[in-house]
Amino acid sequence: MSAPRKAETAIEAVNVGKRYFMRGLNQSPTLFGAFKDKVTRRKPPEFWALRNVDFSVPKGATFGVIGPNGSGKSSTLGLVAGTIRPTEGTMTTQGRISSLLELGAGFHTELTGRENIFLNASLLGIAREDIARRMDAILEFAGIGDFIDMPVKNYSSGMYVRLGFAVATEVDPDILLIDEVLAVGDINFQKKCLARIQQFQRRGKTLLFVSHDLGTVETFCDEVLLIEKGAMVDRGDPARVVHDYRERHFPDENIPDIEVDEHGTGDIRLQSLQMRNTAGQVTKWFVSGEALCIDIEYAANKRVEKPVIGVSFKHQAGQHMFGTNTQIKNIEIPYLEGSGIARLHIDKLPLRRGHYFLSIALHSWDHSVQYHRREDWYDFGVRSRDHSEGLVEIPLRFELL
């Protein structure tokens, strides 16, 4: 049997660093002083926008770059695009790149929108007749009407982005680079952009984008790179990386923003809870379609007859996903006394990418007494292996008859 084929790499950064000289600082203000600096070879202070950055992006993956302002995110995209060169290390790409790194990048302000479409296409090596055939689709997506035949110096920032995004995605690149353009424009245009991104994902294109919209990053990316002060801080599963980043930098905004409740008589108490993945590891991060095992540790301070154990799952946005209990499942617990563990098995987790909250309840058979209830007390994250939409995974098969 032959070994599984390794995924091809679209982007690879090896020990990449980018240095700038901060000219004007600590330099002599006079002509004589400048001459003296030249003779003595006095160098201006240096600043490393990036240092020791390593990552690779497989073909067809969507890769996000996040971090605070000034961390080096845009420099990373500039290095991938080839608009800047690394001071050290190597950055290699495979395939044609189309980029939206800043508003109006590549536009000539004195030319009309239509003329800029042809200009951008020529810079990407696309024949004039090919872009002419795609002109109607570009104009329809941009939706700027008669402004297409006006000089782009008269465009608003939103019109820049509309036209730039339409051109960048219509020229059919292998790799699409996006830097914060989804933050500009009305909600309808943002939906069009996100739909176009999903279309690119289904077609197996490679996407690399920077965004401060962490929810979008978490939803659309297969992997996320966190950069702070020019250095790689973290890389991996979007739900985990985004959660940890939020927790450190935006603790007041961190998920959950859901009211947590705890009450009960205390005849039986929930002591602790552990979640385990398919490999049996204790974690808060799971994969859709794989196993989730929940160990619920309890302690009863007296003998309690016929108690019921209930669980429910809620999405971070507040939607109630599922709830059940041992009574509904026709499992009668004769009594509980002392301490022990109740184990819940989910063989194939049906939840898709996102953050979720688990509620646990211990109550009487007739529901008249709540022994201990923790509402939305335990949070966990789920990642998905594909880009199907929605909150749940529905097992299905496609068949052509």
Q: What span, in angstroms and rounded, lies between the C-alpha atoms of 121 and 117? A: 6
Report the range of poorest mean pLDDT among 38-52, 125-139, 202-216, 349-363: 38-52
Same domain (yes/no): 74, 202? yes
**Per-residue pLDDT at 306 exceeds 90:** yes
Supply the pLDDT for residue 28. Answer: 47
CATH of the domain at 70: 3.40.50.300
Supply the pLDDT for residue 58. Answer: 93
Tens digits of per-residue pLDDT, 63-85? Answer: 999 998 888 888 898 899 888 89
Going by pLDDT thresholds of 50, 70 and 90, the confidence category of residue 200 is confident
In a domain, 328, yes or no: yes
Cis amide bond preceding 151, omega within 30: no
Going by pLDDT thresholds of 50, 70 and 90, the confidence category of residue 397 is confident
Supply the pLDDT for residue 181. Answer: 62
Supply the pLDDT for residue 86. Answer: 93
In a domain, 77, yes or no: yes
Supply the pLDDT for residue 372. Answer: 94
Same domain (yes/no): 107, 204? no
**Per-residue pLDDT at 34 exceeds 60:** no
In a domain, 395, yes or no: no
In a domain, 244, yes or no: yes
Percent of the chain with pLDDT over 70: 86
Same domain (yes/no): 81, 179? yes
**Per-residue pLDDT at 111 exceeds 70:** yes
**Per-residue pLDDT at 2 exceeds 60:** no
Token output for 121: 């296409």
Tens digits of per-residue pLDDT, 242-301? Answer: 878 887 877 655 444 556 688 899 999 999 999 999 988 898 888 888 999 999 999 999
Same domain (yes/no): 85, 180? yes
Supply the pLDDT for residue 1. Answer: 46
Percent of the chain with pLDDT over 90: 35
In a domain, 389, yes or no: no
Q: What span, in angstroms and rounded, lies between the C-alpha atoms of 34 and 129? A: 53
Same domain (yes/no): 294, 361? yes
In a domain, 398, yes or no: no
Give the 3-state secondary structure of residue 333: coil
**What is the residue-averaged pLDDT of the chain?**
83
Same domain (yes/no): 83, 212? yes
What does the angle CA 45 – CA 47 – CA 51 come to, to the nearest 5 degrees? Answer: 145
Instruction: Kindly list the distances between the CA atom of residue 302 and the CA atoms of 174, 305, 332, 360, in Å, as whole numbers in the listed order.
Output: 66, 10, 18, 20
Other beta carbons within 10 angstroms of residue 234's beta carbon come to 18
Helix, strand, coil distribution of the chain in percent, nearest 5: 25, 35, 40
Q: What span, in angstroms and rounded, lies between the C-alpha atoms of 288 and 385? A: 7
Supply the pLDDT for residue 94. Answer: 92
Tens digits of per-residue pLDDT, 319-360? Answer: 889 999 999 999 999 999 999 999 999 999 999 888 899 999
DSSP 8-state code for residue 183? G
Mean pLDDT calculated for residue range 369-378: 91
Same domain (yes/no): 205, 83? yes
In a domain, 388, yes or no: no
**Per-residue pLDDT at 90 exceeds 90:** yes
Total domains, the chain? 3
Same domain (yes/no): 242, 270? no
Q: What Rg do the C-alpha atoms of the chain give, in angstroms?
A: 27
Same domain (yes/no): 157, 62? no
Helix 113-123 × helix 157-170 angle, to 10° = 40
Same domain (yes/no): 38, 81? yes
In a domain, 396, yes or no: no
Mean pLDDT calculated for residue range 128-135: 86
Tens digits of per-residue pLDDT, 158-192? Answer: 788 788 888 888 878 899 888 766 655 567 777 78
Same domain (yes/no): 52, 184? yes
Residue 400 — φ and ψ, nearest 5°? -95, 125
Report the range of poorest mean pLDDT among 30-44, 103-117, 313-327: 30-44
> Is residue 96 a contact partner of residue 169, using CB atoms and an 8 Å limit?
no
CATH of the domain at 361: 2.70.50.60
Q: What span, in angstroms and rounded, lies between the C-alpha atoms of 328 and 310? A: 9
* pTM score of the predicted model: 0.63
> Is residue 321 a contact partner of residue 392, using CB atoms and an 8 Å limit?
yes
Q: Which residues span the domain enclosing 183?
A: 1-95+174-189+198-254
Same domain (yes/no): 245, 325? no
